[in-house]
Protein backbone atom coordinates (compact mmCIF):
# COMPACT_ATOMS: atom_id res chain seq x y z
CA UNK A 1 0.00 0.00 0.00
CA UNK A 2 1.57 3.30 -0.98
CA UNK A 3 2.66 5.45 1.92
CA UNK A 4 0.31 8.32 1.00
CA UNK A 5 -2.75 6.04 1.24
CA UNK A 6 -1.54 4.71 4.59
CA UNK A 7 -1.06 8.28 5.85
CA UNK A 8 -4.58 9.22 4.75
CA UNK A 9 -6.06 6.18 6.49
CA UNK A 10 -4.12 6.90 9.67
CA UNK A 11 -5.38 10.48 9.69
CA UNK A 12 -8.96 9.31 9.06
CA UNK A 13 -8.90 6.86 11.96
CA UNK A 14 -7.07 9.31 14.25
CA UNK A 15 -9.90 11.78 13.61
CA UNK A 16 -12.53 9.10 14.15
CA UNK A 17 -11.09 8.13 17.54
CA UNK A 18 -10.68 11.79 18.51
CA UNK A 19 -14.41 12.30 17.82
CA UNK A 20 -15.53 9.40 20.01
CA UNK A 21 -12.88 10.05 22.65
CA UNK A 22 -10.07 7.89 24.00
CA UNK A 23 -12.32 6.25 26.58
CA UNK A 24 -14.95 5.20 24.04
CA UNK A 25 -16.58 1.82 24.41
CA UNK A 26 -16.30 -0.81 21.71
CA UNK A 27 -19.94 -0.13 20.83
CA UNK A 28 -19.19 3.58 20.31
CA UNK A 29 -16.17 2.80 18.14
CA UNK A 30 -18.16 0.32 16.05
CA UNK A 31 -20.95 2.87 15.61
CA UNK A 32 -18.42 5.49 14.48
CA UNK A 33 -16.82 3.06 12.02
CA UNK A 34 -20.23 2.27 10.54
CA UNK A 35 -21.32 5.91 10.41
CA UNK A 36 -18.09 7.66 9.42
CA UNK A 37 -15.91 5.05 7.72
CA UNK A 38 -18.63 3.16 5.81
CA UNK A 39 -17.98 -0.20 7.47
CA UNK A 40 -20.75 -2.74 7.88
CA UNK A 41 -21.51 -3.61 11.50
CA UNK A 42 -19.82 -7.00 11.07
CA UNK A 43 -16.79 -5.48 9.38
CA UNK A 44 -16.46 -2.79 12.06
CA UNK A 45 -16.62 -5.37 14.84
CA UNK A 46 -14.02 -7.52 13.11
CA UNK A 47 -11.55 -4.72 12.41
CA UNK A 48 -11.85 -3.51 16.02
CA UNK A 49 -11.31 -7.07 17.26
CA UNK A 50 -8.20 -7.43 15.08
CA UNK A 51 -6.81 -4.11 16.33
CA UNK A 52 -7.38 -5.04 19.97
CA UNK A 53 -6.11 -8.61 19.61
CA UNK A 54 -3.02 -8.05 17.48
CA UNK A 55 -2.08 -4.36 17.67
CA UNK A 56 0.24 -2.58 15.30
CA UNK A 57 3.27 -4.89 15.47
CA UNK A 58 1.45 -7.85 13.92
CA UNK A 59 -0.99 -5.92 11.76
CA UNK A 60 1.64 -3.81 10.01
CA UNK A 61 3.39 -7.04 9.01
CA UNK A 62 0.08 -8.50 7.82
CA UNK A 63 -0.52 -5.31 5.82
CA UNK A 64 2.92 -5.56 4.19
CA UNK A 65 2.40 -9.24 3.36
CA UNK A 66 -1.13 -8.71 1.99
CA UNK A 67 0.17 -5.82 -0.11
CA UNK A 68 3.05 -7.87 -1.48
CA UNK A 69 0.62 -10.70 -2.29
CA UNK A 70 -1.83 -8.21 -3.82
CA UNK A 71 -4.66 -9.27 -1.48
CA UNK A 72 -7.22 -6.46 -1.37
CA UNK A 73 -10.22 -7.89 0.52
CA UNK A 74 -9.16 -11.31 1.78
CA UNK A 75 -11.16 -14.48 2.31
CA UNK A 76 -13.55 -12.99 4.90
CA UNK A 77 -15.02 -10.68 2.27
CA UNK A 78 -15.62 -7.83 4.68
Q: Which of these, 46, 55, 56, 54, lies nearest to 26 by C-alpha position? A: 46
- pLDDT tens track for 14-66: 999 999 998 999 999 999 999 999 999 999 999 999 999 999 999 999 988 98
Query: Where does the pLDDT of residue 2 fall: very low under 50, low under 70, confident under 90, or very high at 90 and above?
Result: low
Domain residue ranges in the chain: 3-68
Q: Is the whole-model pTM more than 0.75?
A: yes
Query: DSSP string spanning 15-75?
Result: HHHHHH-TT--HHHHHHHHHHHS---HHHHHHHHHHHHHHHHHHHHHHHHHHHHTT-SSTT
CB 24, CB 17: distance < 8 Å: yes
Q: What is the pLDDT of residue 36?
A: 95
Total count of residues recorded for the chain = 78
Amino acid sequence: MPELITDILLAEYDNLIAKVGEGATDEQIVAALVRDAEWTEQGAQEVLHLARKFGTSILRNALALATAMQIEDGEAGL
